[in-house]
């Protein structure tokens, strides 16, 4: 159960510390454009963020699925030992 809880916390932190700031920065860049094309620097930064956000989502999802599986296995083992 401890491993599952640790995976869950790590997944939450990845979402909080990677995805959220990247989304906020991307929205900020988008808001600053006001219908104008982005500068080369803004375009490059938007490209980096556009790759970072989905990757962080994949990592977060994988960690949370792994946490759920690990906790289910731990519960199953605990029930087998108690029986």
Q: Specify the pLDDT at position 52.
A: 95
DSSP 39: P
pLDDT tens for 38-52 read 999 999 999 999 999
Distance from C-alpha of 83 to C-alpha of 58, rounded to nearest angstrom: 38
| Confidence bin at 34 (pLDDT 50/70/90) | confident
Q: Specify the pLDDT at position 2.
A: 87
Q: How far is Cα of residue 36 from the mean position of the Cα atoms in its chain?
A: 30
Report phi then psi at 14, rounded to 5: -60, -45
DSSP 17: I
Q: Specify the pLDDT at position 36.
A: 92
């Amino acid at each position: 159960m401890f491993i599952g809880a640790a995976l869950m916390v790590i997944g939450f932190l990845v979402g909080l510390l990677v995805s959220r700031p990247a989304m906020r920065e991307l929205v900020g860049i988008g808001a600053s454009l006001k219908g104008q094309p982005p500068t080369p620097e803004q375009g490059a930064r938007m490209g980096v963020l556009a790759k970072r956000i989905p990757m962080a989502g994949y990592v977060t999802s994988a960690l949370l699925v792994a946490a759920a599986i690990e906790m289910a296995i731990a519960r199953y083992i605990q029930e087998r030992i108690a029986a």
